[in-house]
Amino acid sequence: MPDSPAIAHGAPEPAHEEHPSYLRHHFNSVEQQADTAGFAMWLFLVTEVMFFSGLFTAYLIYRNWYYPAFVAGSHQLDVRWGTLNTLVLIVSSFTMAMGVWCAQTGRRRGLVLCLSLTCLLGLGFLGIKTIEYREKIEKHHVPGFHYSLQSFVDPQSEPEVYSEYHDKPLPPDMARHTELYFSLYFLMTGMHAAHMIIGVGILAFMILRARAGAYTSGHSTYVLNFGLYWHFIDIVWIYLFALLYLISRHQ
């Protein structure tokens, strides 16, 4: 039945229910297919949570052990860039949600616009992240590559950061553990950025297909599920922002 399209027969069968082209052969109905894909996506996100959980565990343990080093390390991050990036991602989540709505209501041009905006905002996030990373490289805060403790044993060497936080010099033993903080910083944001890059790639692919009207003819599951993925990355970032940038801001 799925393998015998009507053209094979001389006359179309009127009793035969019509199957939309996007219904895969092993599903009974479009609802079942959409339902299944959604469930699979949620489950995939659970595996993603477990993937990040290893890093969060490491973070929690070492933050408890080396709290002063984590505070000093965190002060080296620029909270303004972080806040801006958080805003960028939240707005991109909004445009993504609008995109899902456009797909479900059959608005092709709206969908292309929303996906393009999301894609641009995603690229913007990555761009800002690059600026931040470059700053770390310049300050020798990349673990493993000429890592320098100067900012932590002699905070006054960096007047900008010092004027804001007035950090006391860390004893050399504790200062060394800032390297662990930056390891986790690069690991967690790097893992997050890898997910962003994949997301932007899929977005570009989706924009091309959306222009051809692939998602606005009743089959919007793909957009919906990608939206779930995008929101998930957004949520991960919000945790990362709080854990990495906002340690002891109240002081």
Partner 1 sequence: MSATIVSLPDQSTARIPKVNYLTKENGILSWLLTGDHKRIAILYLISITFFFFIGGALAGLIRLELLTPRADLMATDTYNKVFTMHGVIMIFFFLVPSVPATLGNFLIPMMIGAKDLALPRINLLSWYLYMAGGILAIYTMAVGGVDTGWTFTTPLSTHYVNTNVITTGLAVFVAGFSSIFTGLNFIVTIHKMRAPGMTWFRLPLFVWSHYAASLLMVLGTPVLAIAIVLVALERTIGIGVFDPTKGGDPLLFQHLFWFYSHPAVYIMILPGMGVISETISTFSRKRVFGYTAVAFSSVAIAIFGFFVWAHHMFIMGISNYSVLIFSLLTMLVAVPSAIKIFNWTFTLYKGSITFETPMLYSFGFMGLFTIGGLTGVFLGSSGTDIHLTETYFIVAHFHFVMVGGMLMAFLAGIHFWWPKMTGRMYPEKLSQLAAVVTFIGFIFTFFPQFILGVLGMPRRYASYPPEFQVLNVFSTAGATILGVGYLLPVLYLVWSLKYGAVAGDNPWQATGLEWQTQSPPLTENFAEMPAMDHEAYDYEWLEVQNQKRQKEVNSAG
Residues at the interface with partner 1 (CB under 8 A): 24-26, 28, 32, 35-36, 39-40, 43-44, 46-48, 50-55, 57-58, 61-62, 65-66, 69, 143-145, 176-177, 179-180, 183-184, 186-187
User: How would DSSP label each residue in 154-208?
Assistant: -GGGSHHHHHHH-PPPPPHHHHHTHHHHHHHHHHHHHHHHHHHHHHHHHHHHHHH
Cα Rg, the chain, nearest whole Å: 24
- C-alpha span between 102 and 121 (Å, rounded): 18
* Tokens representing residue 1 in the block: 């039945």
Tell me the one-letter amino acid at 231.
Answer: H
Q: Which is nearer to partner 1, 71 or 114 (CB)?
A: 71
Q: Which is nearer to partner 1, 13 or 160 (CB)?
A: 13
How many CA atoms lie less than 13 Å away from 20 in the CB half-sphere? 15
**What is the smallest separation between the CB atom of 229 and partner 1, expressed in angstroms?**
14
Q: Which is nearer to partner 1, 94 or 147 (CB)?
A: 147
Q: Which is nearer to partner 1, 19 or 108 (CB)?
A: 19
- C-alpha span between 218 and 235 (Å, rounded): 29
**What is the smallest separation between the CB atom of 250 and partner 1, expressed in angstroms?**
25
Contacting residues for 3 by C-beta, under 8 A, at least 6 apart: 25
**What is the smallest separation between the CB atom of 83 and partner 1, expressed in angstroms?**
27
Q: Which is nearer to partner 1, 11 or 50 (CB)?
A: 50
Contact assessment for residue 213 and residue 108, using Cβ atoms and an 8 Å cutoff: yes
**What is the smallest separation between the CB atom of 69 and partner 1, expressed in angstroms?**
8
**What is the smallest separation between the CB atom of 111 and partner 1, expressed in angstroms?**
24
**What is the smallest separation between the CB atom of 5 and partner 1, expressed in angstroms?**
16
Q: Which is nearer to partner 1, 43 or 208 (CB)?
A: 43
**What is the smallest separation between the CB atom of 116 and partner 1, expressed in angstroms?**
27
Contacting residues for 187 by C-beta, under 8 A, at least 6 apart: 55
**Chain CA centroid to CA 153, Å:** 34
CA nearest to 192, candidates 135, 142, 126, 243: 126
Q: Which is nearer to partner 1, 70 or 125 (CB)?
A: 70
